[in-house]
Amino acid sequence: MGKIQPKEVYEEGTDLLQNMHWLIGLRWLFVAAIIVTVLFCKYFLTLGAAYFQIGILTAVLLAYNISFAVGGRFFYRQPQLSSKQIDLVRGSLFTQITLDLIILTLMIHYTGGGENPLLFFYIFHVTIAGIMFPRRTAYLFSLLAVVLLGFLLGSEYFGVISHYHLKGFLPVELYREGTYILGLGVTLTLTLMTSVYLATTIMTRLHRRELELEQARQTLLEESRSCEISLAQLDRLHKEKSDFMRKVAHELRAPLAAIKSCLQVAREYYADELTGKPREMIERAERRSDGLMALVKDLLNLSQATEFSPATNFQPLQIDKLLSTVIEFCRPIAQEQGIQIVAQLETTVEVMADPQGLEEVFTNLLSNAIKYSPEKTEVTVSLKVDDERACIYFTDQGIGIDPEDMPLLFTEFFRAKNAKALHVEGTGLGLALSKRIVEAHGGEISVESTLGEGSSFKLQLPLKPA
């Protein structure tokens, strides 16, 4: 709540000034209406009235409206009102409505008193007060109106002041009819009080809504600010994470390379001394260090792909050629497992790409297809152009992907349950890395699969602009 106070003061100032502007504008209208009505009554209806006094009252009304209008200009120019200036404006509004009530009472007095329906204009004044001021002040104005009215009707009734009859308007004079005057007074008092009640109730509700809106706005602002901060923090964390990952990977690489080198030398150069169980144990250790090397390599690649900035390394690349190279590279492994690679690369397709990045992706997808396929099956690599995009499919007749695993398939370190169950080496980084590289090329990677029947990975890459 504390935070929105300054705004409220500012709005209060603006509100008050708007009200003053509106009130002064209304008064111009009234002055014009009075002049028109007087002329109409005097020359058209030829009513007999105290035109001189009415003229003076109109002049007074005009005079103070001019002075308030001129004085108001000073406040309109202020960019923001100080609390002292706000008090001044509020005081001026207070004075204006009081003067209006007095002028109205005098006007009624000189135009027939209780006999003139002009009496109902009091409703306008108290309604305006109800709109501009808090409930208590508004009731004070209605009380003032009632007092002025009572004083007028009472004084005329008791003959304290003279009664000005509107000749030609009413055939009889009513100011001495006690029941009529009393009835008029009571009705008008109730009407004025009700008007104030209604006006202030509406205003209170409106004000409450405004406050709620303002609070909601502030809350939204604060939330969006904190969202921005969290986003920046996330960004930083992400960068730190990939920096850390890269450092760790580099640090891991050197000792791993040493382990692997030593194991290999032990196995190859001491074959005579190394037989039976010791040899098997060395081979196990070597296999595990190979797996670890692959993981570290993927980690390094992944952290690099995170900062992979497109276009820096991009060059025109013939996809069908690169695919052939990758297929030839993978063919020996496939043959070892009794798997046949079918290549459907009839079209020549050029894209803008980082050759190393795409080679990594193709190798990943093809070796996955081989890894997770049973013997005597086929792996198909096909290339098509569809809707300005190069579409590359890697289709296998392998173990397939459980629909449950689909949402996590491209996340780091994820490995499907059936993939782990196969006891094939895998780091769980290949697909995450591929996705990043493909997306950095403005492409997409997607997969369709039936568990137990096979999978088809689809890559889409934008063609090289002609």
Q: Kindly indicate which of the ranges 12-20, 264-272, 394-402, 444-452 contains the residues binding other proteins, using the contact rule CB under 8 A.
A: 264-272
Are 464 and 316 within 8 A, CB to CB?
A: yes
Q: Which residue reads 């009304």 in tokens?
A: 61
Contact 458, 446 (CB under 8 A): yes
How far, in Å, CA of 38 to CA of 57, rounded?
A: 12
Q: How many residues in the shown chain lie near other proteins by CB under 8 A? A: 18
CA distance 157 to 161: 9
Which residue stretch of 53-61, 179-187, 261-269, 320-328 sits at the interface with other proteins (rule: CB under 8 A)? 261-269
Q: With binding defined as CB under 8 A, does residue 257 bind other proteins? A: yes
Residue 46 C-beta-side C-alpha neighbours within 13 Å: 0
By C-beta, is 62 or 293 nearer to other proteins? 293
Considering only residues 21, 42, 135, 253, which one is a binding residue for other proteins as defined by CB under 8 A? 253
293 binds other proteins (CB under 8 A): yes
Q: Are strands 444-450 and 350-353 parallel, antiparallel or unpaired?
A: unpaired
Query: Is the Cβ of residue 223 or residue 307 nearer to other proteins in the bound state?
Result: 307
Q: Provide the minimum distance between the beta carbon of 429 and other proteins in the complex, in angstroms, as a whole number.
A: 16
Assess 271 for contact with other proteins (CB under 8 A).
Answer: no
Regarding 304 and contact with other proteins (CB under 8 A), the answer is yes
Q: Determine, following the binding rule CB under 8 A, whether residue 311 of this chain makes contact with other proteins.
A: no
Q: Please report, as residue ranges, which positions from 388 to 417 form the binding site for other proteins (by CB under 8 A).
A: none
Backbone angles phi, psi at 413, to 5 degrees: 65, 10
- C-beta of 5 vs 312, nearer to other proteins: 312
Residue 427: CB minimum distance to other proteins, A: 16
Q: Which residues pair with 446 in a beta bridge?
A: 458
Burial class (CB in 10 A: 0-12, 13-18, 19+), 269: exposed
Cα 192 to Cα 100, 184, 339, 347, 433, distances in angstroms: 15, 12, 97, 90, 78
- Report, in Å, the least distance between residue 335 CB and other proteins: 22
Residue closer to other proteins (CB basis): 304 or 318: 304
Q: Closest approach of Cβ 349 to other proteins, in Å? A: 24
Residues in the chain: 466
| Pattern 77-116, other proteins, x by CB under 8 A | ----------------------------------------
Site for other proteins in 348-367 (CB under 8 A): 356
For 204-237, give the DSSP string.
HHHHHHHHHHHHHHHHHHHHHHHHHHHHHHHHHH
246 is an interface residue for other proteins by CB under 8 A: no
Binding site for other proteins (CB under 8 A): 250, 253-254, 256-262, 264-265, 268-269, 293, 297, 304, 356
